[in-house]
Amino acid sequence: MIKSLLRALLNIIFYPFKLIFRLIIGFLKRLKFSIALKISASYLAIYVIIIMIVAAATSVGYLAYEFDKFSSEVIINDAEEIAETFPNFSTNIGNRVKSFEIYDDNLNEVYPLNSGKRYADSIIVVIEKLIYDREYIYSTNFYNDNVEYYLNISYDAQEMINNSVRISIMVMISGAIGLLIFLPIVSGISYKMIGPIKKMTDTTKTITVNNINTRLDIKGAQDELKELSQTFNEMMDRIEAGYKTQQQFVSDASHELRTPIAVIKGYVNMLDRWGKNDRAVLEESITAIKNETDNMQDLIEKLLFIARSDKGTLLYTKEDFRICSVLNEIEKETKMIDTKHELYFKFYEDASLYADKKRIKQVLRILVDNAIKFTPPGGYIMVSGFIQDDYYVIKVEDTGIGIEKKDLEKIFERLYRAEQSRSKEIGGHGLGLSIAKIIVLGHKGKIKVKSSVGKGSEFSIMLPYI
């Protein structure tokens, strides 16, 4: 009975506090104050609510303790005395009991008659009486001559309620004193917590294209703020890398397009001066302009290919095919266009690949063309194919001019050309190997190179087969 009463009282008392807490949090979210102020206000609101809950719990706990003590010391004895002396009651009962009522098994009033009171065994009724009438009602039953009766005993609870209110007030006064100490501490901690965020905000506001390498200082940050700073710095690393790639692309394109545009402009000026009357100048200019426009078109297509790769929009049209069908095409085409070198083609094994046939052939064409370009007439060029572990390996070997060791790590960079390859006779834009690497990696393959200056080079591509 006492435990049920206590549980019901706690639920009723704490419900307003829960509602107030939700309203305060919702109100703070709508206010456009600083985060530090909101945190401080939230902590203070929680503190106040806790003090109120402690005060209420202390008060209710005191009442529960007093009622339990009163029940064991007084109420049970009174109930037994009433039951034993029924219907001739002891005169001593009236000194302690405010009133009592007895009901039969049909809950009809037996004593006193016509009082108009109902049997109260509901906790809600008990709480209502306690709040409004300052009475505590105890309900029980007893037997007399084998007949069951129900008993309500009412006691004056005014003094106990007054004591509980005094205790609650004392707790809240103590809480108010604690609030004066708690307020500056919470405020200081809040602003200290938000300090790194303020610094992060000020730093991010200064970041522009001109200082894109600026990063957040993570030395003073801790826990989640440190993780946030690291995540932001990693994001800026990616943005900076992408920006530099874009800058490099624009710079490279501008550099490579400058020469053919200058050549075309020169021949246009020549045509304007002498081409109208001099047929030789006219034919020379048209041929040169045609070659340079073809060169520009080739360059632009290669740059667009690399740009799509950087952007992640490069698509491969993959299909099943036998790799030797592509190798045989390369052999046939190479023998048709090159008669100045000793060409050898040896395909030891065949295999099925699931790949973009056109792009794989493009890679082979780039490697073979480079071998032809950088190998002096009469030199040796060999293309071979074989299976090694999980890959089909294609090697392109030559006895050309070779590549210096310092250049080996850079030859796959776009628009990079070693010193030996910068002559006008050799030509090229330095994009072929970059494109070859993009295609091979796009097929989850590998590309390797070995080279010695004056002895030649060996390029190997390894493609997974099915």
Q: Which CATH number fits domain 319-464: 3.40.605.10, 3.30.565.10, 2.40.30.200, 3.40.50.10880?
A: 3.30.565.10
223-311 with 319-464: one CATH topology? Answer: no
Residue 126's pLDDT band (boundaries 50, 70, 90)?
confident
Q: What is the pLDDT of residue 389?
A: 92
Residue 260's pLDDT band (boundaries 50, 70, 90)?
confident
| 321 and 359 Cβ atoms separated by less than 8 Å | no
Q: What is the pLDDT of residue 1?
A: 57
Does residue 137 come out as left (phi exceeding 0), alpha (psi in the -120 to 50 range) or beta? beta
Residues 399-424: tens digit of each pLDDT: 999 998 888 888 888 777 655 544 54
Q: Name the residue type at position 239.
A: I
Neighbours of 435 (CB within 10 A): 20
pLDDT at 109 over 60: yes
Higher pLDDT, 385 or 207: 385
Separation of alpha carbons 130 and 46, rounded Å? 29
Q: In degrees, to the nearest 5, what angle opens at C-alpha 217 toward C-alphas 32 and 197?
A: 10
Residue 80's pLDDT band (boundaries 50, 70, 90)?
confident
The whole-model pTM stands at 0.51
Where does 71-129 have alpha helices with state H? Answer: 76-85, 93-96, 123-128
pLDDT at 378 over 50: yes
Beta-bridge partner residues of 152: 101, 139
Q: Hey, is 104 helix, strand or coil?
A: coil
Going by the DSSP 8-state scheme, the letter that residue 119 receives in this structure is P
Any idea where the domains of the chain sit in the sequence? 2-180, 223-311, 319-464
- Candidates 225, 445, 289; CA nearest to 355 is 445
Q: What is the pLDDT of residue 24?
A: 65
Q: Using alpha carbons, list the distances in angstroms from residue 168 to 20, 31, 61, 66, 126.
A: 19, 32, 11, 15, 21
Higher pLDDT, 43 or 343: 343
Assigned fold of 223-311: Helix Hairpins (1.10.287)
Q: Hey, is 151 helix, strand or coil?
A: strand
Q: What is the pLDDT of residue 422?
A: 46
Omega prior to 16 cis, within 30 of 0: no
| 435 and 455 Cβ atoms separated by less than 8 Å | no
Lowest-confidence region among 62-76, 92-106, 165-179, 313-327 = 92-106
Q: What is the pLDDT of residue 318?
A: 94
Higher pLDDT, 17 or 277: 277
Q: What is the pLDDT of residue 2?
A: 57
Higher pLDDT, 120 or 245: 120
Q: Hey, is 194 helix, strand or coil?
A: helix
Q: What is the pLDDT of residue 198?
A: 75
Q: Residues near 436 by Cβ (< 8 Å), separated by ≥ 6?
A: 362, 363, 366, 367, 412, 447, 461
Q: What is the pLDDT of residue 368?
A: 95
Quick one: average pLDDT of 152-157? Answer: 89
Mean pLDDT of the chain: 83
Q: Hey, is 380 helix, strand or coil?
A: strand
Lowest-confidence region among 19-28, 38-47, 330-339 = 19-28
Token pair belonging to 179: 């609030």
pLDDT at 19 over 60: yes
